[in-house]
Each structure stands twice: as C-alpha cells, then as structure tokens.
Structure 1
C-alpha cells in the first residue's frame, strides 16, 4: 500500500491511509496528533486521515469554517455521544434526552446578564484561596493556580462544601483523582477501560463521590441562589445524575483553569505586559498589596486584562473540535461523505498568519481590533466553537480568568524561575493545552 494515497473518486478530499488495514495511520496520528495534522496540511486545505476505522476529514481554511458550524448536514451530538458513553457511562438514550436541555440550562444560567449571581461569591472564594498561599513561597505555577481555583470554582458552581473542599486530606484526594481523570480524558473516550486502570479508578471514585452528594443537593429548595449543580439535578430525572455531575465538573475545571495558568505565565514572562497591566489595575483598584474586591463593573474597566486573557486563549485553545456528517455534502467541489467525522483544529486555526500576524507571538494589543464591549472576537478566532452548541459557559470562564489574574497580580510579586514560558503538550487534542513541563515560580505579598 502506498504511504500516501488519493481517493479513487477525484471528488473526494485527498486522503492519507497509512500502512495498516483498519488502523490506518492511528499509530502515527497518536504519537503527536497536533504536529501530524500540521504535516498533513500538505495534502490540501481539506484532507482526510484514516484512523482506527474512522475517516477524519479536516478543514483548515477559515473561509470554510462556516460549513463546520452552520451546515445542516453535520451533527455535534452524534459526534460526541459515543465518547460521552465511554467517559461518563451515560446511556445513548439518556444522552439524547438530556444533552440539549443541559446545554441550554448552562447557557442560560451562565449568560453574561446573570453573572452577577456568581461574581461576588467567586471573588470571596478567590480571596480566601489566595490568602492561603501565605506571605511568600515557591512552586509550580500550574499547580498553585489549579489548587486554588479548583476549590473556589467548585464552591461557586456546586455549592459551599458540597464537595470536600475544606478538608485538606479529602480535597487532595479529590484533586488527585480529577487530575488523573482530566489528563487521560481523551484516552478514556476512545480506549477500553481495561487499558486505563488508573483512569478507570479515578472515574469510579468521582462518580461514587457525586452519588453521595446528589440527594442532599437535589433536596435543597430552588431560588435565585440555586447552584449550577442544583439546576442540573433538577433537570435530569434518571439514574445518571452522578454521571452528568462528573461531566459538569470536568467542563467547569478542565479548560478555564489551565488558561488562567497560561495567562499568568505569559504576563509574568513579559515585563512590559506586566507593567502595563499593573498600571491598569492600579488605576481601577488603587495601590498594590491589598486583595481587591472585584465586581463586574470593575472588570469592564480592565480592557488590557481582557486582551491578555483572549490572547492566551488564542495561543492555547483546544486541539480539535468535531462534528459527524449525517448527509453527504460539498465543500469547494469536494464531496464530504456521510459518516465522516468533520474536524477543525482551533490550535492551528489560531496560527493562521492571514488573521493573526506573527501568530506565535503573545501580543495582547492585537485584540484592540475586536469589539470587546459587544463580545465580538477577531476573525478566525474559534476557541469557543460556534453554531447551536457553542460553549455555553464562555462568559463565566472569561469572568473567572480575569478575576483570578487581576487578584493574583495585585496581591503578589511573582517571578518565573525559567527563561521562557513552557511549551504546550501537543499529545492531547481534547480540552485546553497543558504545559509540557513545570513552570517554577517564587512569589511574595506586595507591600
């Protein structure tokens, strides 16, 4: 078999089938999928990879992204139902019954107009967690951010002490199990659990943990202070409440918190960016050294901070997003067959020089061209997806990242102990990119 082959029909996208029947190029793809995708762009702006019995058809030109997000012939739910079954053991029937309802509930609860119900308490939670860092210390920045944000966001969205946040030993166990679940999340989506002993144990622990809290949480009377978890449990009326709770936990922690780390790392690495941000923070909150009370109104005045956050999201988005083709259709005179998985890589889309000059550079000022006040992003920016199932929690995510970064920079002098920002791991496709190596820092309270 030729290493590189073109489809028999000229109307199909050029394809790479690899060397092995059924497996196709699964081994090559699995070693370093993001770099492999970049290499195969030589096939054309639309191309197909044969991977473990699936045809993965990639579209790489931003002018074609409309087909991915708006075509009636592609389906998000049919693309993710099998992975959800593997990841959280939610049945097919339950998934199609509740997925859209849960998406719309989260979208409504976390709409920009309703963030006021979360922001004040979130600020208090962040203040408590940042204070616990002490007057000075050192460690891996990713771990510092993760530990303090996990606790705060869990309390904010799931309810105060609903999960064991304030018991140090139990919280360490929760953190350990969630990190294990998150780090092997995409392997859990594709591989039998027998090959993922540690991941399966973490999944079992988390589902059992939610099983213990579901009844207590569901019985609380609904009101304006209803947590996101309570809203979820009120909506779902089958035995999979703990399983959906686990998915909500992953969605709440797995993307925004790594982006917070990346935002701080980029800012601390560039002294000019850091000083410009501190000037902006001082103009809004006064002199440094105090943990500010941050309101939605205050955040609206921090334009440069929002640029920093969006630039970090641009550079460290999810590796791929996907849709199932439910009926054959045409893009640029190429037939996209029914049954294909249509793929789009935000990671590589955000490195398109046409839309992002100097794409590898961290340049917050490029966001000056966006209409931030109206939540209109730059052309070519697809980090939050699009169409019917665009990320429902994006406004909350931006809020929490801005709030945490503002409080951290205002409270601490922090120095990177390495010469550059760590490279992202390119081994993972699902969720925000994780750092390839630790990011050691030292910090002390500002006077």
Structure 2
C-alpha cells in the first residue's frame, strides 16, 4: 500500500504543478513543449539531439514555439521574416542572455560583463575592419608558415589529431572538411574540389618559395573563398540567443519577459527560399554575393546580426582564406576514410563531425 500511496502522491504533485504553472504565461504566448517532469521539462528529449528536436518541433508546432528545459524557457524563431526583431528589437538583450555562461566559463562577473561588453565589442569592431585586417595579414601568414613546418614532408593520421598535434588552428581545414560531410562519394567529391582548389592556389600565389600568401593572391582565388563561405553556411551554429526583457510581439504571439529567444543559423541556412538545394555543398552559389565588399547572401546569419554581429567576422574569413590557400599550396591531401556525418548534438559553435577521418598528406 505504501508504494501505491507514493505513486499517487507523486502524480498529484506533477498534476498540481502543471495546473498551477503549466499555463501559458501570456494568453497569446507561443505553443509550448513542456514535458511531464517539473523543472526538467523537455530537457531529456532536447538534449539527445538538439538540432533534430528543433526541426521536429517546428514541423509540429509551427515557426515560433517554446521549449521548457532545465528550468528555462527557450523560445525559437525559425522564419527569416522574424530575424530582424531578434537582432534589432529593444525588447531583447544580448548581454543578459549570455552573462551567466560567460561567468561560468571565464569567471567574469555578470555585472562586469554587462557593463563592459558593449564598449569592448565596439573597440574590437573598430580594430578589425576590412581595412585594418590587411595590416595583420603579413604577420598572420608568417605564423601559419611557422606552424606548417611541424607537418614535415609527409604523414597520415586522424585529421583532428594531425591538426591539434601540429599546433595548427583547428578550424580552417576542419571547416572545409566538414562541409563535405554529405558528399557522395567522398573519394570523388573531396578529390575533385581539393584538386581544383590546389590548382587555383598554385596558379595564383606569386611567391614561388611557397612561404607567402598576399591579399592580392587571395583576391585571385574567389573559389577558395566560396568554398569557405559554403562550409560556414552548412556548419553554422546550432543556436544563438537573446533574452526577452519586455513583452515581444512576433506574428500573432507575445513572448513574455524572461524567455531566452533562440535563433538557429544551422536551420536558417537550410531554407530553400534563400538557398536552393540547401543540403548540397555548392560553392558556386556564392558567386552572387559581393564578397569583395563583404556582402553576404540574403538569409546568411552565421555571424549574427545587428549591433552584436561578430566584430571579427572579416578577419576570421580572411584568416580561413589564407590558411586554406597556404596549406593546399604546400601539401597534397588524400582521404583514406569516408567523411563522417555531422553531429546533431552541438548547439554552440561550429558543428563537429560525428566521428573521425583518416587522411594522408605529402609536401608538394
């Protein structure tokens, strides 16, 4: 009888919790995925594969929906037409959304971050303008060359281990590699693209000692940049966030204060309205963008938007462009394993491959 009493008690508590706190905080709030366990909500289902969960919830509940997970309310916006409000509305706040995470990872007090971040972001944005990045390119190329000396003349191994063991920036080649995760078959797709890129690098880089890549060289290699931008598109962050500080109207809904407003660049970049055949790796689509003037394709939000758009985006793209050009100029790469599929687990940062991949490289 005791266990029956216990079950009834737990059931009454759960039902009471939902009756008292399970109602929408506003009559026009979006549909909500709550789960059955108080406080935890849908955390377990969401945590198993966040990217898949977002896609399934959108199909079931529509373009705006809320997920209760681990005591937090996450409200997702998935229509490009609503992104402007996410990036520019005065009813949402970036610093409040991330200050707890910054405190937990970097031990920076919440008050300090909230007060100083806007000023720091403005300073960085001023220092890393497209014009200023040109002055940093020479030193950057020297650093890349120093790191590439650790490669030796040839070798093989897991790609991520090669990158890490040689003390190279671990995102450049991984981004290019991850972009081909859905290629079929990899031996054809990867080889064709790397051969084309390598030929472009060999023809355009003027320094025959293979030690310098200038910005002028990079301007003559647009296809390399297209590949990088397409890789970023396909492996963009799973979600970026703002905190709702005042009631926010989106479509026919009102998002209550306290919610974390979530936008998924990963899924935004799979909108066929802006990116036809969105799952395909098509560098040629970037020919329509004016990348020389730092104008991206419509619908591209990998670097965020509004006043909190990534201040180092121009430097990051230039860095990737130079690194990929230099490493393909110096080395030939051959895949020995199929490229792993992307992992559905990563909400923050670049999507990681769901497995390892072995390559062989040889100095030209």
Output the TM-score relative to the length of structure 2.
0.87
Q: Deviation of residue 259 (structure 1)?
A: 4.9
Within the candidate set 179, 185, 191, 1:271 is matched to 191
Q: Deviation of residue 384 (structure 1)?
A: 0.1
Q: What residue in structure 2 maps to residue 307 of structure 1?
A: 226
Q: Deviation of residue 285 (structure 1)?
A: 1.7
Query: Are 2:116 and 1:98 equivalent residues in the alignment?
Result: yes
Structure 2 residue matching 1:335: 3-state secondary structure = strand
Q: Deviation of residue 7 (structure 1)?
A: 4.1
Query: Are 2:276 and 1:357 equivalent residues in the alignment?
Result: yes
Residues 22 and 13 of structure 1, relative CA distance in 2, 3 Å threshold: same
Structure 1 residue matching 2:275: 3-state secondary structure = coil
C-alpha distance in 2 between matches for 1:371 and 1:126: 27
**Is the 1:15–1:47 Cα contact (8 Å) retained in structure 2?**
yes
Query: Are 2:72 and 1:48 equivalent residues in the alignment?
Result: no
C-alpha distance in 1 between matches for 2:64 and 2:178: 34
Q: Deviation of residue 318 (structure 1)?
A: 1.0
User: What does the per-residue CA deviation read over 1:171-222, in whole Å, with 9 as the maximum and x for residues that have no partner?
Assistant: xxxxxxxxxxxxxxxxxxxxxxxxxxxxxxxxxxxxxxxxxxxxxxxxxxxx
Structure 2 residue matching 1:311: 3-state secondary structure = helix
Q: Deviation of residue 334 (structure 1)?
A: 0.8
Q: What residue in structure 2 maps to residue 394 of structure 1?
A: 313
Structure 1 residues without counterparts, runs of 5 or longer:
154-256
C-alpha distance in 1 between matches for 2:160 and 2:320: 14
Q: Give matches, 1:293-442, under 5 Å.
A: 293-419=212-338, 421-442=339-360
Residues 56 and 8 of structure 1, relative CA distance in 2, 3 Å threshold: closer
Structure 2 residues without counterparts, runs of 5 or longer:
1-14, 181-185
Q: What residue in structure 2 maps to residue 161 of structure 1?
A: none
User: What does the per-residue CA deviation read over 1:407-435, in whole Å, with 9 as the maximum and x for residues that have no partner?
Assistant: 1111111101113x222222121111122
Moved over 6 A (4+): none
User: What does the per-residue CA deviation read over 1:332-375, in whole Å, with 9 as the maximum and x for residues that have no partner?
Assistant: 12111111110000111111111111111111001111111111
C-alpha distance in 2 between matches for 1:287 and 1:266: 29
Residues 400 and 143 of structure 1, relative CA distance in 2, 3 Å threshold: farther
Structure 2 residue matching 1:348: 3-state secondary structure = helix
CA RMSD between the two structures:
2.1
Q: What residue in structure 2 maps to residue 221 of structure 1?
A: none
Structure 1 residue matching 2:345: 3-state secondary structure = coil
Output the TM-score relative to the length of structure 1.
0.71
**Is the 1:142–1:258 Cα contact (8 Å) retained in structure 2?**
no
User: What does the per-residue CA deviation read over 1:371-409, in whole Å, with 9 as the maximum and x for residues that have no partner?
Assistant: 111111111110000111111111111111111111111
Structure 2 residue matching 1:339: 3-state secondary structure = coil
C-alpha distance in 2 between matches for 1:275 and 1:333: 51
Structure 1 residue matching 2:241: 3-state secondary structure = strand
User: What does the per-residue CA deviation read over 1:278-328, in whole Å, with 9 as the maximum and x for residues that have no partner?
Assistant: 33223312698x524111222122111110000000011111000000100
Residues 320 and 363 of structure 1, relative CA distance in 2, 3 Å threshold: same
**Is the 1:314–1:383 Cα contact (8 Å) retained in structure 2?**
yes
C-alpha distance in 2 between matches for 1:114 and 1:63: 33
Report the count of equivalent residues.
337
Q: Whose radius of gyration is greater, 1 or 2?
A: 2
Q: Give matches, 1:272-291, under 5 Å.
A: 272-285=192-205, 291=210
C-alpha distance in 1 between matches for 2:172 and 2:193: 17
**Is the 1:16–1:50 Cα contact (8 Å) retained in structure 2?**
yes
**Is the 2:178–2:352 Cα contact (8 Å) retained in structure 1?**
no
Structure 2 residue matching 1:280: 3-state secondary structure = helix
**Is the 1:33–1:429 Cα contact (8 Å) retained in structure 2?**
yes
Within the candidate set 58, 69, 75, 2:87 is matched to 69
Q: Deviation of residue 96 (structure 1)?
A: 2.0
C-alpha distance in 2 between matches for 1:74 and 1:8: 17
**Is the 2:179–2:234 Cα contact (8 Å) retained in structure 1?**
no
Within the candidate set 12, 17, 21, 2:29 is matched to 12
**Is the 1:324–1:341 Cα contact (8 Å) retained in structure 2?**
yes
**Is the 2:178–2:235 Cα contact (8 Å) retained in structure 1?**
no
**Is the 2:294–2:314 Cα contact (8 Å) retained in structure 1?**
no
Residues 427 and 264 of structure 1, relative CA distance in 2, 3 Å threshold: closer
Within the candidate set 151, 154, 173, 1:260 is matched to 173
Q: Give matches, 1:75-224, under 5 Å.
A: 75-148=93-166, 150=168
**Is the 1:318–1:429 Cα contact (8 Å) retained in structure 2?**
yes
**Is the 2:226–2:284 Cα contact (8 Å) retained in structure 1?**
yes
